[in-house]
Amino acid sequence: MSTSWLIVVPVLVLALLDTVAALRARGYGRKATINWYDDFTVLVPIYGDTLYLENVEYLKQYGNRIVLCTTGGESGEFYRALNAIAYQHGFRVFRSPSKVTTGVGQRATSGTTRDRVIRDALQIVTSEYVVMLDADSTTVRDFGELVGELHHERYDVASVRLVIRDESSWLVKLQRHEYALAMQLRFLAPWLVSGACHAGRTSAMRDVMARHSLFFQGNDIELGVIAKTIGYRVGHVPFEVLTSAPNTLRSWWRQRLAWTGGEFRLFVTNIRFVIWHPFFWLYGTVVAIGTFPLRWAAVIHPGLSLAAAAAVYYGLAIWLHWRSRDRWMLLMPLYTLFSSLVLTPIGGWSYLRMVLKHRNAGVIRPQLRLARHALS
């Protein structure tokens, strides 16, 4: 019997998810947020090099609402440059007691630096709400509208919608479609928080981060999982945040290699969360990770069902994203298939490397608080 059904089933499940999520999104509507709330602070993690602070011109409109959050282990040159930027635009600077950093001029794709800095910075926030924003992200609408929606809906934690800003290369154009599909899922599972930007009630965010494993890859979804598990109200606000995406194969590979390690950490190491989110964990653990050898067999010995699955996928993709259609959409099944066949199998290796390097297995323990997360 042909093994091609092993690709057909995941493809059809993804297509079904995309369809349900898209219909849910359309039901929500795209009305402009009419709520406004101004009691908020924006935390922007920055370390290694101030050149990574790419959104200064955008941030300056918020003045002292902006807190540039860095580590206690940067160079004197870095601190002078950061303080100069803050002084020029009225920002505040928070220097974490933590000495952990990735080194001068380096970006972090693993480790605990980013979450240690944010966790520590939350201790000094006095506003009712807090927004976490990456140093390369911006928005079209004002954060007061995002926070106003949180306040109106009484959300403790909220995910937002990421949109890729630049479309200069074919690789970025492919990722634009990938992001669009991923963001739709937030209407079904709002706890799928995005690291580039998320927001919440300060007291809730402080509590959640005190329980966080500080493992970088998957840290955003872990935040949402913890918040949901311990009873906070988690929602999705379709507030668009413009962010960057890798525009070279090398940077894309580096990012996705790290991401696949984070997926292994979430779905395998923390498989017990299948109790709370059975569909997502079973799909990630069993279908995506567990059956990859059989998917290779299905590709080597294809059947007619593969063509049928591809036709269904293309049809739904074109229907769901007709307004943003382009020729790159036709490559999405191949793009997804490559990730499934090549990246997924090495997720365990990528995860193990991060565990050994940072001595942190990324085990999510929502009920464990304070003691292991004492400021350090």
138 φ/ψ sector (left φ>0, alpha ψ -120 to 50, else beta): beta
Q: Report how far apart, in Å, the C-alpha atoms of 43 and of each of 76, 168, 286, 361 are.
A: 22, 29, 37, 26
The better pLDDT of the pair 306, 234 is held by: 234
Give the tens place of pLDDT for each residue, 235-265.
999 999 999 999 999 999 999 999 999 999 9
Give the tens place of pLDDT for each residue, 186-200.
888 899 999 999 999
Assess whether pLDDT exceeds 70 at residue 216: yes
d(CA 22, CA 312): 16
DSSP assignment of 215-235: -STTHHHHHHHHHHHTT--EE
pLDDT at 143: 96
**Helix (H/G/I), strand (E/B), else coil: 11:** helix
pLDDT at 106: 53
Burial class (CB in 10 A: 0-12, 13-18, 19+), 357: exposed
Amino acid at position 136, single letter: D
d(CA 300, CA 4): 9
Assess whether pLDDT exceeds 50 at residue 374: no
Q: What is the dihedral of CA 371, 372, 375, 376, to 10 degrees?
A: 140
d(CA 238, CA 161): 5
What residues contact residue 314 under an 8 Å CB cut-off, 6+ apart?
330, 333
Assess whether pLDDT exceeds 60 at residue 184: yes
- Mean predicted confidence (pLDDT) in 280-298: 78
pLDDT at 367: 86
Q: List, in sequence order, every beta strand (DSSP E) within 150-284.
A: 157-164, 197-201, 234-243
Assess whether pLDDT exceeds 70 at residue 287: yes
Least confident of 15-24, 124-133, 188-197: 15-24
- Bridge-based pairing of strands 40-45 and 129-133 is parallel
% of the chain with per-residue pLDDT over 90: 56
pLDDT at 1: 44
pLDDT at 51: 94
Q: Report how far apart, in Å, the C-alpha atoms of 74 and of each of 44, 79, 102, 116 are.
A: 16, 7, 9, 14
pLDDT at 69: 97
Identify the band that residue 112 occupies on the pLDDT scale cut at 50, 70 and 90. confident
d(CA 348, CA 268): 9
Identify the band that residue 125 occupies on the pLDDT scale cut at 50, 70 and 90. very high
Assess whether pLDDT exceeds 60 at residue 3: no
Amino acid at position 99, single letter: K
CB 111 within 8 A of CB 216: yes
**Helix (H/G/I), strand (E/B), else coil: 44:** strand
How high does pLDDT run on average in the chain?
A: 85
Assess whether pLDDT exceeds 60 at residue 109: no
Give the tens place of pLDDT for each residue, 47-88.
999 999 999 999 999 999 999 999 999 999 999 999 999 999
pLDDT at 331: 82
- Mean predicted confidence (pLDDT) in 218-245: 94
**Helix (H/G/I), strand (E/B), else coil: 239:** strand
Give the tens place of pLDDT for each residue, 143-160.
999 999 999 999 999 999
What residues contact residue 280 under an 8 Å CB cut-off, 6+ apart?
189
